[in-house]
Structure 1
């Protein structure tokens, strides 16, 4: 393992530039805590509660769907994490290698909106929890939660790792206390353990939401492995990320399933407050703090993606800590508006947001993973990623772009949401299998269409020049 070349900086200097080998640090087990600690928060609990509230499942079916969805979705997510130590650059910058320097902007812009959406969702929940504990008005609480996240984003990578390591213990303990208090101390209503109400549509919707929870991390998961030593290895990076993210997500989601089954007609936060009576203040305070850390991760990666867009337009720009701070503040201000507006109708907005997100993420993840693991085997020209014309990758890769839009179109008939249900989903009882269809179609399609081009480029680079 290579030690850092200098004393660690209190504020991270780098943004999207390549991390040299002599600045790499950390161990694969650090990845467990960053993902375990950051996932134990209120939004994860809310996501689990969708199974028994919005989708109407009994507790046992909700629990099974949550576990399966996380276990399956995390495979896709952790395969992206394994790219970080090898590449040493943020995930969205690496997307230029698949889509071209300008073609990648399509995906990067969507990713910025995605993480701003998660930031707004977290800010609403964190603000509501803080308001519950302190009595501060919800809108002001939302602002406070956001400002703490901005501060952590400005400091950067090291602080986020340290805070999530602490949260792994503190928030993990609060989660255990919540379970014990609900089941063993206060008890749950008699109808909590009912077994009726199962539908395949609800089961698959829950499974899809849980899988998306993991897949949604894919556009930034390697941002937290890019500082790892190159000899960390893909397997170690995969399992460190996979185990932390699955365990850190499943446990709070199961708490949400339980709260929703016990009090399906209550808002989830109100239900959690009722069921944890006696320890509510402490539990809510810890989970609210956890949200600030997770939101810092969302804002950090949204900021890196925004900087990636700017560097595309102005290649000579060398953004560092000051640029990250300025962009983070601007994004925070822009996100405050939807956060304050959506606070009163959060659950319905969040469920629809997740359904739309899954549709646009699946084609990107299919293209990226096939390109990295099956076509180029992790070998990329890092310098070309920073060239305006894309270097060997060009400005536009129309194969990748075409596959991306095809991936969205092929999913539409299989979508089943409160806003829209496709004809294929209607035919199978409104069961949403759109993301499965997207992966099944786009992975082989991109491989077949792109393999001749990658093979030809490899031969051309290997051929000796003729004087």
Structure 2
């Protein structure tokens, strides 16, 4: 594996690293930054719109809040456990997945993850353009172009700038939402108590599924932003920081969204923020709405950055490439044109689009996260030959058939349980009244399938490769047995 010399970035520098390994001497991240980073990742009106899903189906405030809490706590568990992999391996999330799906086979799984990144940014842009047009009458085309360009620039400058900007916006946004929440509790933000107290299992399950998917869809890229942490950072510290940050902000704003939907009849998160904010005092609505826009644009940068890593991983899996800065920029620009073009062409209702996109992302990503976590925590227990992830001739091979089969079985198993309103409802889902449990089926089936397929895997057979990899990365001295293994790999590659 070719290593490119670099050093921590100066204030104005563009990141050097992309899909390559981050050496120990460049690990300058801090665990204390992970909580605020992922807190802000959910601290914008996209999250508020998830709180509209239950009420739009007749669910009450209390049941919507309960469904949101259950879904977020469940989904964030998977996201947080993935975060610990970044520090240990020093790699982007999807490069790690070559251990389960193979050097070339991972490209098939990357289709679903790329859809996630592009899909989130399309929905982000549609929501922002609709909301700002509704508040200020601004041109939706101009909003789409400007926000896309800012997100693109953040992605180009990369990891350090994303962490830096997220921290600034966190300190800006937090006091504003605290003021709004206190005003709601004191009855100073307007609204009226509805006379109905609705509940259906279909609406409750839909709220849980949408909330769970919200943080599960962070799973394919959460370790992209923890890979600069020191290698021996305790896993429990990373997991706790990410879990607390991502779960707390999401629960807060989903409940806030449910209140706005049931008490103000809101159907647009940004307009609702503006209206309830101005009920406190004139001008506060614009301030909190614009802070939420800033957080969403920063999150678009995050999606674009991880989308770039996904594309480069896929291209490198098909044909070996050198991950240069120029290539990073070209891919990010191309992704910007893609999501911007789709956003300009769509006229789908924002809430329907949000729910459908999140549901599809969940069906695609759940089998992957099940396979990846079972492999990392139960099969290989965090022991990987990192250098072998960069060659099709290494111990993980070109095609990881066990991973691909388990993923396929898990995804196919979800199809009869699909619930996509106005698009498709699977036969089993119809039998149980349209309750969406497909994502849970996919999770369990993929995890069990992979565990069964790998039960004869002898992890000790990979030890020589792991030792030679650790030596190549400067972590440990090379044992005599690993010397022979290293020489054999060199001949093959």
The residue aligned with 2:40 is 37
Change in Cα spacing, 1:6 to 1:340, as seen in structure 2 (3 Å) is closer
SS class of match (1:270): helix
* SS of aligned partner of 1:190: coil
Relative to structure 2, which stretch is displaced further, 183-192 or 9-18? Answer: 183-192
1:397 positional shift: 1.4
Secondary structure in 2 aligned to 1:62?
helix
Residue 440 (structure 1) aligned with residue 444 (structure 2): yes
User: What corresponds to 1:145 in structure 2?
Assistant: 147
Deviation at 1:454, TM superposition (A): 4.0
1:346 paired residue number: 350
Q: What is the rounded CA distance, in whole Å, between the counterparts of 1:396 and 1:417 in structure 2?
A: 32
Q: Which TM-score applies when normalising by structure 2? A: 0.88
2:185 and 2:424 map into 1 onto residues whose CA distance is 38
**Given that residues 54 and 207 in structure 2 are in contact (C-alpha distance below 8 angstroms), is that contact kept between their aligned partners in structure 1?**
yes
Cα distance in structure 1, aligned partners of 2:8 and 2:147: 31
In the alignment, structure 1 residue 300 sits paired with structure 2 residue 305: yes
- Whether the 8 Å contact between 1:128 and 1:142 is mirrored in structure 2 is no
| Structure 1 contact 16–89 (Cα < 8 Å) conserved | yes
| Equivalent position of 1:375 in the other structure | 379
Report if aligned partners of 1:11, 1:155 keep a CA contact under 8 Å in 2: yes
| Residue 71 of structure 1, CA deviation | 0.8
Report deviation, 1:429: 2.3
Say how many residue pairs are matched: 459
Residues 315-349 of structure 1 deviation map (CA, whole Å, 9 limit, x = unaligned): 1x221322211111111011112211235522212
CA contact (8 A) 1:164 1:293 kept: yes
Contact 1:375 1:454 in 2 (8 A): no
**Secondary structure in structure 2 of the residue aligned to 1:412:** helix
The Cα shift of 1:297 comes to 0.3
SS of residue paired to 1:14: coil
Aligned pairs for 1:87-166 (under 5 A) are 87-131=89-133, 135-166=137-168
Deviates more, 1:122-131 or 1:9-18: 122-131
Shift of 1:452: 1.1
Q: Which of 414, 419, 436 pairs up with 1:416?
A: 419
Does the alignment pair 1:66 with 2:68? yes
* Pair 59,23 (structure 1): closer, same or farther in 2 beyond 3 Å: same
Higher deviation after alignment, 371-380 or 173-182 = 173-182
Q: d(CA) in 1 for partners of 2:174 and 2:52? A: 19
Q: CA RMSD in A?
A: 2.2
Q: Which stretch has the larger CA shift, 122-131 or 247-256?
A: 122-131
Offset, 1:228: 0.3
Contact 2:121 2:300 in 1 (8 A): yes
**TM-score, normalising length: structure 1:** 0.93
The 8 Å contact of residues 57 and 199 in structure 1, kept in 2 or not, is answered as: yes
Q: Kindly report which structure 2 residues correspond to 1:259-338, keeping only aligned pairs within 5 A, or say none.
A: 259-264=260-265, 266-277=267-278, 278=282, 279-315=284-320, 317-338=321-342
State how far apart, in whole Å, the 1-side matches of 2:107 and 2:189 are: 51
SS of 1:232's equivalent in the other structure is coil
Shift of the 129–181 alpha-carbon distance from structure 1 to 2, 3 Å rule, reads farther
- 2:362 is matched with which residue? 358
1:19 aligns with 2:7: no
Tell me if structure 2 keeps the 8 A contact 1:127–1:143: no
Structure-to-structure mapping, 1:421-432, within 5 angstroms: 421-432=425-436
Cα–Cα, structure 1 residues 112 and 5, in superposed 2: closer, same or farther, change >3 Å? closer
Cα distance in structure 2, aligned partners of 1:209 and 1:150: 27
Q: Which runs of 5+ in 1 are unaligned?
A: none
Task: State how far apart, in whole Å, the 1-side matches of 2:51 and 2:303 are.
Answer: 20
Give the Cα–Cα distance (whole angstroms) in 2 for the partners of residues 113 and 254 of structure 1: 27
Structure 1 residues 61 and 157: alpha-carbon distance in aligned structure 2, compared to 1, 3 A threshold: same
What does residue 86 of structure 1 align with?
Answer: 88
